[in-house]
């Protein structure tokens, strides 16, 4: 991870937690309702989630 100011680190940590929570909840809802999901398996969903979180952590910081 890049060296981030403490405030940015905390903010992105909160963003990552929300992303994990909501993406998993949306997938669970879709599976319960037997509707299509963006990824075919939990493994693939986790891979997409990891890619998104890495992008979040490595993105530029606007000062």
**pLDDT tens for residues 10-34?**
999 999 999 999 999 999 999 999 9
- Is 18 domain-assigned? yes
- Is 10 domain-assigned? yes
- Is 35 domain-assigned? yes
Cβ atoms 5, 60 nearer than 8 A: no
Look at the chain and report how many structural domains it folds into. 1
- Is 63 domain-assigned? no
- Is 50 domain-assigned? yes
Share of the chain above pLDDT 90, in %: 94
pLDDT band with cut points at 50, 70 and 90 for residue 48: very high
pLDDT at 56 > cutoff 90: yes
- Is 54 domain-assigned? yes
pLDDT at 1 > cutoff 90: no
Domain of 30?
Answer: 6-58
Q: What mean pLDDT comes out for the span 44-63?
A: 95
């Amino acid at each position: 991870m890049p060296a981030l100011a403490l405030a940015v680190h905390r903010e992105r940590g909160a963003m990552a937690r929300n992303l994990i929570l909501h993406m998993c909840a949306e997938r669970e809802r879709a599976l319960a309702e037997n509707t299509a999901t963006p990824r075919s398996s939990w493994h693939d969903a986790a891979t997409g989630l990891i890619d998104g979180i890495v992008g979040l952590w490595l993105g530029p910081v606007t000062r």
